[in-house]
Amino acid sequence: ADHSFEYPKHPNFMKWSVHYPGVLEDESCAKKVEFLDVGCGYGGLLVTLSPMFPENLILGLEIRVKVSDYVVDRIKALRSQNPGEYQNIACLRTNAMKYLPNYFKKGQLKKIFFLYPDPHFKKAKHKWRVINQCLLAEYAYVLGINGIVYTITDVKDLHDWMVKHFTEHPLFERLTSEDLDTDIIIEKLYASSEEGQKVSRNNGDKFLAVFRRIEDPYVN
């Protein structure tokens, strides 16, 4: 149940140096988390992105305690087997639908990933979906201007739902396939995570959509 979640009352109270000890000597360090993998599962994307973006702190959020424990252990093992590497990735157990503003300041994030979210796509569960209209406002809040949201799913209805809601939202625009051509992350979205590999094994379809956080058209 949710009361078992520990979370900071405000981003200022978060002790990030515990999670990134090789990068952050203490809390006075200015470096902050910039990439967020929501529902990171077993952490495949984190491990892939780590060497690609050595200068960025990357965080996975996972609600299932056993799965997040697994990812924490996985990162610990990678760090000890590869001294100096994998220092920029970490995983927290939390409910990403409830506590994002407790962890991140306005405009802090550069990229948010939703890889194969919500497999149980049912009409009755709308409000529980990781992508819904209220949450889009929250994602827009923690993302900086020009920040990118990556989504990929094997569920066509969910893809259509995400495209519809992000496209309709005034603070996001969908990127074109030309924009995506120059982004080295795109190809990694298909099979770097465990769920993506499972979909590949089952010859499932994969639907990708990427959005940019744009400036508020009503400001100025």
Under the rule (CB under 6 A), what is the footprint of ligand SAM? 39-41, 44, 61-64, 67, 95-97, 115-117, 119, 130, 193-196
What are the residues whose beta carbons fall under 8 Å from the beta carbon of 94, sequence distance 6 or more? Answer: 5, 7, 61, 62, 63, 103
Local structure of 168: helix, strand or coil: helix
Quick one: which of 94, 127, 102, 130 has its CA closest to 4?
94
- The catalytic residue among 118, 154, 157, 216 is 118
Local structure of 75: helix, strand or coil: helix
Q: Which is nearer to ligand SAM, 173 or 194 (CB)?
A: 194
User: Nearest approach, Cβ of 31 to ligand SAM (angstroms)?
Assistant: 24
Please indicate whether residue 118 is annotated as part of the active site: yes
User: Nearest approach, Cβ of 117 to ligand SAM (angstroms)?
Assistant: 6
Q: How distant, in Å, are the alpha carbons of 18, 83, 118 from that of 149?
A: 27, 31, 16
Residue 192 marked ligand-binding: no
Q: Which is nearer to ligand SAM, 64 or 156 (CB)?
A: 64
Helix (H) or strand (E) holding 167: helix 156-168
Residue 177 marked ligand-binding: no
Helix (H) or strand (E) holding 204: none
User: Nearest approach, Cβ of 67 to ligand SAM (angstroms)?
Assistant: 5
**Known binding-site positions:** 39, 62-63, 95-96, 115, 193-195
Q: Looking at the annotation, which residues are catalytic?
A: 118
**Known binding-site positions for S-adenosyl-L-methionine:** 39, 62-63, 95-96, 115, 193-195
